[in-house]
Amino acid sequence: MKFKNFLRDKIFLILFYFILMLFISSVIYFNNVVKISLDNIAYINSVGFIMFIFYLTFEYLRNKKYYDVISYVIDTLKENIICSLPKATNHEQRLYQQLLTKINNEYNLKIDELYQGKKENVDFMNSWVHEIKTPIAVCRLVIENSIYKSKEETLSSLEDEIDHIEKYVEQALYYSRLDSFSRDYLINEVNMHKLITQLVKKHAKEFIGKKIKIELNKLEFTIDTDQKWLFFILDQILSNSLKYTTNNGIIKISGILRGNEKQLIIEDNGSGINPEDILRVFDKGFTGYNGRGEFKATGLGLYLAKSLATKLGHYITIESKPSEFTRVTVHFPKLIDYYRVTN
């Protein structure tokens, strides 16, 4: 730290000193009770000035080491070298160090969050690319073997694989929109029966192919929500039910009014969920025992469903008993302030 920079920082103190000494000298000089000669006044000012110079020098030397270390830390930070702050010499420096420490800790937390988010995105993309390659490879295989099959069989197989590709692309699209959800939703009154009918029609081929029965009960009610996002949420839940329900099984979709909320229940008599997996089915990337067995589970569907439901002010619960049933309940609380939807 240069002395001239130190003096520049102390400029107000220096001006205050000279104004104070001028005031004291004036009072002494114009005092009619006790007369003090100009030589004595000059002597008092000289001694005061020398003591003030000693004080400034002491302050400069006391703080020079601290500021030199700070300058060194600033220079090393440019080279990505980690250094610790010097020991504070006064209360002001301690306050600044506490402030810097707090800012640094907050900064590190944000960096960790960004790093974790980037890692999760990379993991998701790696998993997504791996998953989408499968239906693409199957499409090529179907085309190569089309000479041995009828046109209808070939088109049906291609349609199945295109549906898989569309599902994976849709998941990636909604995953990318999670952070910008608040800019892409519109709350309207949605008729649940109409919405579920559209959803069942979308999966009609799977219901027919696996001969799964569908029962719809008490769905004549409305809720306030975003229809597009809710359709995606229910689509993920129903897709899971269809995936893990065996041939000739049954899926029941029903509505219920309980307490201060409306509920939509999707229940199947499929393979169920193991007790050790039930608490983790909504975790990102978690496939569980059943998902690993299927080799087609991405572990993303229920995670997206729960994340989007929370943003809409709804929430999802799940119950299951292995080899007997799985019951997923979407809860729609009555009193919701949709303008407080979290981003």
Does residue 167 belong to any structural domain of this protein? no
Closest to 325 in 3D by CA, of 267, 281, 253: 267
Return the structure tokens found at 235: 């689509």
pLDDT tens, position by position, 164-185: 888 888 888 888 877 776 666 7
In a domain, 163, yes or no: no
Work out how many domains the chain is built from and give that number.
2
Angle formed at CA 268 by CA 263 and CA 273, multiple of 5 degrees = 100
* Whether residue 197 sits in one domain with residue 66: no
Q: How many CB atoms lie within 10 A of CB 40?
A: 11
Which residues constitute the domain of residue 297? 188-340
pLDDT in tens, 13-50: 899 999 999 998 888 888 777 778 888 889 989 999 99
Residues 255, 262 contacting (CB under 8 angstroms): yes
Q: Are 237 and 268 in contact, with CB atoms under 8 Å apart?
A: no
CATH number at residue 207: 3.30.565.10
Q: Is residue 295 part of a domain?
A: yes
Listed residues 87, 117, 144: the one ending a domain: 87
**Last residue of one domain, picked from the residues 55, 87, 119:** 87
Per the CB < 8 A criterion, the answer to whether 124 and 300 are in contact is yes
In a domain, 96, yes or no: no
Q: Which of 54, 87, 120 is the last residue of a domain?
A: 87
Classify residue 183: in a domain, yes or no.
no
Express as a percent the part of the chain with pLDDT over 90. Answer: 29
Q: Is residue 139 part of a domain?
A: no
Dihedral of CA atoms 220, 221, 222, 227 in degrees, nearest 10, equals -50
pLDDT tens sequence across 274-303: 888 888 888 877 765 554 455 455 668 888
The single residue listed with the structure tokens 């009960």 is 217
Residue 83 falls inside a structural domain: yes
pLDDT at residue 339, as a whole number: 44
pLDDT over threshold 70, residue 96? yes
> Per the domain annotation, does 155 fall within a domain?
no
**Confidence band, pLDDT 50/70/90 cuts, at residue 83:** low
